Structure 1
Amino acid sequence: MQNTHLEAGYMPSDQEEYMNDKQLEYFKRKLLNWKKDLLSESMETVKHLQEENWNEPDLNDRASTETETHLELRTRDRYRKLIDKIDAALMRIEKKSYGYCDETGEPIGLKRLEARPVATLSIEAQEQHERFEKSHNEE
């Protein structure tokens, strides 16, 4: 996978060997770009928080500012957790275990990975996991 060249507009295909070097490089770049975007948005949050006027004289304005800040921080916390998942996916790419279900070892599938590049379960395993959680939460 070292220095794998991707043509402009390359998209993984079912016609190729699953998780070949090109596909791994494609998903690596996709994950790195996603992480870069999340980190950039997080830096904007930090900048915004530093510039925010925390001493609004009007209580309604202050409450509105605090509510917006709380929502923004919750979003950034979700980003932090997502970045951890991205880092884990990048590690799986390096180990060449990316794209395979953690539970069954079967391929997750290109369409699922395209939609959710941090996926660790096949659709079937994910559905089974969700059914199990739902049945245990209802008890």
Structure 2
Amino acid sequence: MDHKDLEFFRKLLNQMLEEAQQKGDNTLEEMTDSNEVFADPADRATAESDRSFTLRIRDRERRLIRKIQSALQRIEDGSYGICEECGEDIGVPRLKARPVTRLCINCKAKQEEDENLRGE
């Protein structure tokens, strides 16, 4: 991968990181601002369900942040864009679709096929 491509992905990943961190900060602010008291148990149950859903989203964002940071580290150490399974280059179109990927399309397809066979 040439320097121009690496800079493109560095900028893209930094932008993704900033957006994910802002979403996380907004989620935490919303959750700390909601100290409502509910007279109706159904309203309380709905609020708890919403809170649980928000926490699951926050957890997904936190995992995405770690993946983005890992991808940025791979750019720094020179391993970005190289499949961790087979060692081949990951195509630029795949990286544009999924900038945090660690596997080429063939190895990812094989991984998913193996997971389906195991029932995961």
Q: What TM-score range do you get, normalising by the shorter chain?
A: over 0.9
Q: CA RMSD in A?
A: 1.2
Secondary structure at 2:88 match in 1? coil
Runs of 4+ with deviation above 3 angstroms: none
Unmatched 5+ residue regions in structure 2? none
The alignment of Structure 1 onto Structure 2 pairs a total of residues equal to: 120
Deviation at 1:31, TM superposition (A): 0.7
In the alignment, structure 1 residue 77 sits paired with structure 2 residue 59? yes
Tell me which amino acid in the other structure corresponds to 2:69: D
Deviation at 1:116, TM superposition (A): 0.3
The match for 2:75 is 93
The match for 1:118 is 100
Q: Given the two structures, how large is their TM-score scaled by the length of structure 1?
A: 0.82
The match for 1:133 is 115
The match for 2:12 is 30
Identity %: 40
The structure, 1 or 2, with the larger RCO (C-alpha pairs under 8 Å, 6+ apart) is 2
Deviations 1:95-124 (A, max 9, x none): 111011111111110111001000111110
Q: Given the two structures, how large is their TM-score scaled by the length of structure 2?
A: 0.94
Deviation at 1:22, TM superposition (A): 1.3
Structure ranking higher in helix proportion: 2
Tell me which amino acid in the other structure corresponds to 2:57: T
